[in-house]
Amino acid sequence: MPRLRFGPSLKKARVRLGMSQAEFGDKMRPAISHSTISLWENEKLYPSDDQKAQVKELLGIFQSDAEAGETSDASDEHDVFEIDGPSAIGVWLNKSRLKASLSVPDLASKSGLSIVSIYNIESGKSQNPQKTTIEKLEKALGQRLSTEAKKDAKEESTIEGVGEWYNFNPNSEVEWPDVAGIYVLYDISERPIYVGQGQKISSRLKEHHQKFWFRAPIVQNGAYVGVDNKTLREQIEKVLIKFLKSNAVLNQQNVDR
């Protein structure tokens, strides 16, 4: 679980819970303005011990230096949160779906996405869905995903020097990414079982689709990062397979090409 300084971690935890600065401030007693929350998050002001206790109660995931077993100084700069669970997108989806009084199957039918895809997002198995997936959900729900939530997901899923890592449902053809890149397929226990690359990932998945193993629960979830350069794709693919060793049970020897 990522551990951050007080300000950035407060912001991340707030966004993960789907609250604006004003909504979070209103939950404090006495209520605090959104501008004060902004100052906390930007580390231009630090809360009192009583206020930190309230933050701990409201977020349920606060952990101080002492609790984390780290050295602390007189300031509150190094207080941290432990952040886990669904992404901000997952929280938004669950809240918006319930607000619209839609079941998961209802939303799946309305959005054109699979039931599994929606469950994966809400449960946190899919942390950063593709942009087209978000657009379909926004249209079906009549609700826009906040800029903060999009930024949070992007920060968590960006690989420096490579690009943004997206999740998709490999068992739903409409979600197959139509780009060049590296992809990983996971089983129901979230174990990576196949690493691949291609000039067009959807074409590679179409080839897999004809094989006996390409079905749930053997293949339950997927993720990819766009990489245009073929040489770089091949290098990354080989490195990933070497690291995964026997965990990549379906291509541990770089087979099934």
Report the number of distinct structural domains present in the chain: 3
What is the chain's alpha carbon radius of gyration, rounded to the nearest angstrom? 21
- Give residue for tokens 């992404």: 87
* Digit-coded pLDDT (tens) for 160-198: 888 899 999 999 999 999 999 999 999 988 889 899 999
Q: Based on the domain organization, do 54 and 99 belong to the same domain?
A: no
Q: Based on the domain organization, do 149 and 188 belong to the same domain?
A: no
* Digit-coded pLDDT (tens) for 100-144: 999 999 999 999 999 999 999 998 889 899 999 999 999 999 999
Phi then psi for residue 224, to 5 deg, are -150, 160
* Digit-coded pLDDT (tens) for 13-41: 888 777 888 989 999 989 999 999 999 98
DSSP 103: -
Assess whether pLDDT exceeds 50 at residue 70: no
Q: Which helix (H) or strand (E) covers residue 41, if one does? A: helix 34-41
Q: Based on the domain organization, do 250 and 178 belong to the same domain?
A: yes
pLDDT of residue 83: 56
* CB-based burial, 135-166: b 16+ in 10 Å, e otherwise: ebbbebbebebeebbbebbeebbeeeeebbbb
Q: Based on the domain organization, do 77 and 99 belong to the same domain?
A: no
Q: Based on the domain organization, do 155 and 212 belong to the same domain?
A: no
Q: Based on the domain organization, do 248 and 180 belong to the same domain?
A: yes
Q: CA of 190: how far to CAs of 45, 193, 211, 219, in Å?
A: 41, 9, 20, 9
Q: Based on the domain organization, do 119 and 150 belong to the same domain?
A: yes
pLDDT of residue 66: 35
CATH of the domain at 121: 1.10.260.40
- Distance from C-alpha of 58 to C-alpha of 255, rounded to nearest angstrom: 50
Q: Based on the domain organization, do 98 and 147 belong to the same domain?
A: yes
pLDDT of residue 151: 86
Q: Based on the domain organization, do 53 and 115 belong to the same domain?
A: no
Q: Whole domain around residue 244: which residue ranges? A: 170-257
Q: Based on the domain organization, do 133 and 213 belong to the same domain?
A: no
Give the pLDDT band of residue 152 (cuts 50, 70, 90). Answer: confident
Taking alpha carbons only, the member of 91, 173, 179, 163 closest to residue 127 is: 91
Q: Which of 164, 180, 202 finishes a domain?
A: 164
pTM of the model: 0.73
